[in-house]
Amino acid sequence: MTPPKSASDHIHLPKSEFEALLEGAAEKGAKKALADVGLEGETAAEDVRDLRSLLEAIKIVRHTALQTTVHVIVTAVFVLIVVGATIKLKLFGSGS
């Protein structure tokens, strides 16, 4: 059955058929997009979960690396202050 056409060659569809057509096109497009990036088939959901876990692990590593860097810098500054104070007060060396 051919849908009725108006004078301007537009096709008129009932809302339910139009929504079904859009839903089918969206589903087909989503499947194609997932296939294009290698996330197709039965393991797609597991692959996405693995990717999310990997991204979370990267965030944790980045945060830990930043904390460690700040800790090392603060410790180095503290050591330099102690060494400077020790030299200024002449606690080591000759007692002159």
DSSP 3-69: PPB-TTS-B---HHHHHHHHHHHHHHHHHHHHHHTT--STTHHHHHHHHHHHHHHHHHHHHHHHHHH
pLDDT for residue 96 is more than 60: no
**Residue keyed to tokens 């290698």:** 38
pLDDT > 70 in the chain, percent: 89
pLDDT in tens, 15-52: 999 999 999 999 999 889 988 988 888 888 898 899 99
Map out the domains of the chain as residue ranges: 15-89
